[in-house]
Amino acid sequence: MREGDTVASALYRAGQRIFTRSFKYHRPRGLLCCSGNCPNCLMNVDGIPNVRTCITPARAGMAVRHQNAKPSLDFDYLSVAQKFDFMMPVGWYYKRFTNPKMWHLAEQQIRKVAGLGDPPPPDVPQAVYEHSHMHADVAVIGGGLAGMEAARDAAAGGERVVLVDDQVHAAHPSEANFTLLERSYCFGLYEGNLLGVVQKEPHAQARERLVHIRAKRVVIATGAYETPLTFKNNDLPGVMLSSAVSRLIRRHGIQPGKNAVVIASEAGDPNLAGDLLSAGVNVVATVSPSDVLEAAGGNHVRTLRTKRGNFACDLVVMCGHRIPDTGLLSQAGAKLEWSVSAGAFIPVEFPPNVSAAGDVLGTELKAAAALPAPKESTNKRTFVCMCNDVTTQDLCDGVAEGFDHIELLKRYTTTTMGPCQGRMCQLQAIGICARETGRTIPETGVTTARPPNPGVTLGALGGARHHPTRRTPMHYQHEKLGAIWMDLGDWKRPRFYAHPSASNERECVRQEYQAVRQKAGMIDVSTLGKLSLKGRDAGKLLDKVYTNRFSDLKPGRVRYAVLCDEAGIILDDGTISRQSEDEFFITTTTGNLDFVEQWLEWWMAGAGLDAHVANLTSAMGAVNLAGPHARDVLSKLTGCDLSTAAFPYMACRNADVAGIPAILLRIGFVGETGWEIHFPAESGEDLWSAVMEAGKPFGIRPFGMEAQRLLRLEKGHVIIGVDTDALTNPYDAGMGWVVKHEKEDFIGKFSLGKLADASAQQNLVGFLMNSDALPEDGAAILVNGALAGRVTSARYSPAKQKPIGLCWVPASAASEGAAIEVRVNGSPVAATVTRQVFYDPEGSRLRM
């Protein structure tokens, strides 16, 4: 290995000549283009498949493996496939496997035999991929002479320039407004001049970086590249493009062969002879493309047979067609036109803010050989598409079978559809299609260019793995208390707290439950959506959006709030408290905050109401302190009179708690006397600590989501989205009382009016198991042995000493005491419907 070696050049220097085995016939393939265009050098490098080794810098210790060859590149027993090529004409599996069963069997075998590399196994250490973004006045793609000049001109004119090039540059631009992205290739030009660029190894820790460039103006200077000539066995290792030969000699100091035959027309590469001479390559003969008959040899070329005789050689240099690299221009919408003198399609019209410079314009190019190749060169060993092993014979057969449009021919034969995306084969395929259909090349046209080209790794598209996490202000206090976390959207919430006196989750939850029912408990409810609604029309807006009435809510009072859509479906619930005449404080469910905020804004604008919504969710933390001793705990920390006379159930007050300004709501989701306390997030730790400290003598315990779910279930409180679904209206859910039909107008009024008069088909009801069997959430409900509904929530109730739950049942089975069955562990178990809540049905504990 030498300084500047690529993986492919280092292997070539070490004597390796076969780099891949072909897609279908497993023919040996060697270096062809040495510039990252063709599929012949794709290998697995450090576990990553399909790496273009001819443009990947070599490093000591790299693990390079061949693909699609068994057992080795030099001897691949699957190359026997060539012997059966008569069985595998173009489109052969459409023709052979007309029986679906047969295809099913064959498909598995074909997939093993054909194809490219395997995806990395899961145990390969995950490489680091990144994304980045750039905004520029000018983006220049291609850092050759023309591209560099365009970039320097733009920079000199004061524009902010980014130059994208696949090479490494010795000299770096020093201007501050000139950015050079090296080892980078542009794979797509999207709407609005958005360029997708992949940069290889942008720094030591990253394998690839996907750079999104947005540029006011794009200059395409991607140059031109050379494509192969067509003759029999033109794919043998040792048959190379002249640009590849020059690159091996000049850049890597490699002697590519000892005895070479050069295939060139008069327009051939003028520097080639000098390069070959300098590398000590003996040029046996120079022949015209039209004189070539075939290359011969086993695993490597040994003879070139021509009309002028046979030449023994170990290198055949093709001076192929040079064609402009117009992929990005086509994607941008540039118009291409056939140029006879260039022997290529060249860009003639450009969309606004896209231009081209240098060889990609095609004005300097000269056709290298007659196009299309003459009919007599048609056979099963003249390869047009190296990626997918498509031969001249296949293309002719395709046209003969009726696929006579270039886009159809492409799809039928898969030519231009491999890893090189038509770079090597498009021109020849168009030529053959034109010849076989009797049309001209311009009439035949080009296939559509689409990104990505060249291909992009999924890792680069995926980018860095970063999942945002939301933490409440008391996150680390929960951690210290032994919180076992659960994810709720982006939020982390304690499911329960691992307590030293409890051996398992069930016991922890039971203790937390008991603390709330008998002493005092506190739960972090900071994830609730919190909105402030201010303004003259605030009450009117709430009357419009929610089903119950809020304009008549007195300052200092709280009301339960349900929000429905036009069809009367429940979308969200929460509480709304009136803090002053024109200011309301709204809570929403954790998941629906964004929706409710937008919904309010939308209807405010729609109805022309004067109000303002502020989202306080991130600014404020919240806890719920509940239990028979909640008042004793809280009164130690606040001057606010907490007696029921001064602060009744469903009232709200603004007061300091532990010196922290807070909003107190006396509400009772868990069914005990309690306060929901909202406070500035930055004081969350202080408030939590103060309450825990004040609660110590009363046996206060923090409680998590699991205990909360059990506590509320005993109260029959519904969780929107858990107990309800996308078809639930308030009447089905047994919450008809939240709809105030006498209101002038509100969202869903019409539908809810209809629903109120109709009898519900399904009802959400409570159930009590007759035995100790605990159903899972979602378990089936059976009525008279037939499937009739489902459980939405079920827990073991300490208050009832039996499993309880909520479930959907048909209206006929929804009456108090109705016998139903719940499927537990696959067997129906008897249960009884109850319309009463399971704990404190009078709600006296809330009002104590």
Partner 1 sequence: MKRSALHRWHEKAGATLSEENGWSAPLRYSSPEQEAGAVKRSVGICDLSHIHEPLSPYARLLISGPNARLLLSKLTSLNLDRNTSYGTVAHVRGMVLRDALGFLVLVPRDYAESVWDAILHAGEEFHITPFGLEAHRRLEA
Give long-range contacts, CB 8 A cutoff, 24+ apart: 505-508: 505/706
Q: Apex CA 598: angle with CA 597 and CA 599, to 5°?
A: 90
Question: Token pair 């709204």 is at which residue?
Answer: 586
Least gap, CB of 192 to partner 1 (angstroms): 12
Total residues binding partner 1 (CB under 8 A): 41
Nearer to partner 1, 31 or 474 (CB): 474
Span near partner 1 by CB under 8 A; candidates 129-137, 314-322, 719-727, 820-828:
129-137
Q: Which residues share a beta bridge with 76?
A: 71
471: contact with partner 1 by CB under 8 A: yes
Between β-strands 827-834 and 259-263, what pairing exists: parallel, antiparallel or unpaired? unpaired
- Find the helix or strand (DSSP H, E) in which 50 lies: strand 48-52
Contact 230, 392 (CB under 8 A): yes
Span near partner 1 by CB under 8 A; candidates 138-146, 220-228, 286-294, 462-470:
462-470
Residue 596's alpha-carbon distances to 25, 192, 586, 733, in angstroms, are: 61, 33, 10, 21
64-65, strands of its sheet edge to edge: 48-52, 42-45, 64-65
Give long-range contacts, CB 8 A cutoff, 24+ apart: 58-65: 58/1, 58/5, 58/6, 58/7, 58/9, 58/10, 60/1, 62/7, 64/7, 64/11
- Find the helix or strand (DSSP H, E) in which 159 lies: none
Closest C-alpha among 411, 406, 407 to residue 432: 406
Span near partner 1 by CB under 8 A; candidates 181-189, 465-473, 511-519, 830-838:
465-473
Nearer to partner 1, 312 or 464 (CB): 464
Cis omega before residue 452 (within 30°)? yes
- Find the helix or strand (DSSP H, E) in which 212 lies: strand 208-220
Between 52 and 71, how does the x/- string for binding to partner 1 read (CB under 8 A)?
A: --------------------
Q: Exactly one of 99, 363, 440, 469 binds partner 1 (CB under 8 A); which one?
A: 469
Contact 10, 1 (CB under 8 A): yes
Closest C-alpha among 503, 515, 502, 485 to residue 798: 515
Least gap, CB of 680 to partner 1 (angstroms): 7
Q: Apex CA 428: angle with CA 425 and CA 429, to 5°?
A: 80
Q: Exactly one of 121, 125, 468, 606 binds partner 1 (CB under 8 A); which one?
A: 468
Q: Exactly one of 83, 101, 133, 172 binds partner 1 (CB under 8 A); which one?
A: 133
Hey, how many other C-beta atoms are within 10 angstroms of the C-beta on 158?
A: 10
490: contact with partner 1 by CB under 8 A: yes
Span near partner 1 by CB under 8 A; candidates 235-243, 461-469, 710-718, 791-799:
461-469
C-alpha dihedral over 725, 729, 733, 736, to 10 degrees?
160
Nearer to partner 1, 661 or 697 (CB): 661
Q: Apex CA 787: angle with CA 783 and CA 791, to 5°?
A: 85
Span near partner 1 by CB under 8 A; candidates 61-69, 224-232, 666-674, 684-692:
684-692
Q: Exactly one of 581, 682, 725, 772 binds partner 1 (CB under 8 A); which one?
A: 682
Q: Exactly one of 683, 729, 792, 834 binds partner 1 (CB under 8 A); which one?
A: 683
Span near partner 1 by CB under 8 A; candidates 4-12, 63-71, 198-206, 817-825:
198-206
Nearer to partner 1, 105 or 614 (CB): 614
Contacts (CB under 8 A) with partner 1, residues 503-562:
526
205: contact with partner 1 by CB under 8 A: yes
Question: Token pair 């407004």 is at which residue?
Answer: 177
Least gap, CB of 574 to partner 1 (angstroms): 18
470: contact with partner 1 by CB under 8 A: yes
Nearer to partner 1, 130 or 723 (CB): 130
Span near partner 1 by CB under 8 A; candidates 199-207, 339-347, 668-676, 810-818:
199-207
Question: What's the length of the chain?
Answer: 848
Least gap, CB of 128 to partner 1 (angstroms): 10
First to last CA, the chain: 85
Contact 84, 113 (CB under 8 A): no
Least gap, CB of 464 to partner 1 (angstroms): 7
Contacts (CB under 8 A) with partner 1, residues 583-642:
614-620
Q: Decide: helix, strand or coil at residue 28.
A: strand
Q: Exactly one of 77, 476, 602, 750 binds partner 1 (CB under 8 A); which one?
A: 476
214: contact with partner 1 by CB under 8 A: yes
Span near partner 1 by CB under 8 A; candidates 89-97, 205-213, 668-676, 778-786:
205-213
204: contact with partner 1 by CB under 8 A: yes
130: contact with partner 1 by CB under 8 A: yes
Nearer to partner 1, 200 or 835 (CB): 200
In the complex, which residues of this chain contact partner 1 (CB under 8 A)?
A: 130-135, 202-206, 212, 214, 464, 466-473, 475-476, 490-491, 526, 614-620, 680-686
